[in-house]
Amino acid sequence: MNSEEGAKHVVPLSSLPAGSKARVVDVVGGYGFRRKLFEMGITPNTVVEVLANSRGPILIRVRGAVIAIGRGMAHKILVEPV
């Protein structure tokens, strides 16, 4: 098995184009930031779908709800495309 087999391709949520789906791997930030995201349903192993990613906030679908998050927040959410 080579070194890349089985390795996760983890990227910030902010880097995914509209129409992409990804599984949340980690949230980088302090307790308050992580808690805010967890309250919105953005937790590790949750699948999110990017609905819009252009200028301004990023629109995502998570657990059936559509929410807008700032680009800075999205950059701290590490995901694995699915």
Q: CATH no. for residue 51? A: 2.30.30.90
**Sheet containing 65-69: which strands, arranged edge to edge?**
11-12, 77-81, 21-27, 47-52, 58-62, 65-69
State the total domains in the chain. 1
pLDDT confidence of residue 2: 46
Average of per-residue pLDDT across 1-26 = 83
d(CA 24, CA 37): 11
Query: Does residue 66 lie in a domain region?
Result: yes
Q: Which DSSP category does 14 fall into? A: G
Query: Does residue 2 lie in a domain region?
Result: no
pTM over 0.75: yes
72 touches 13 (CB < 8 A): no
Range of the structural domain that residue 36 is part of: 23-81
Residue with tokens 């995502």: 60
pLDDT confidence of residue 37: 95
For 58-82, the pLDDT digits (tens) are 999 999 999 999 999 999 999 999 9
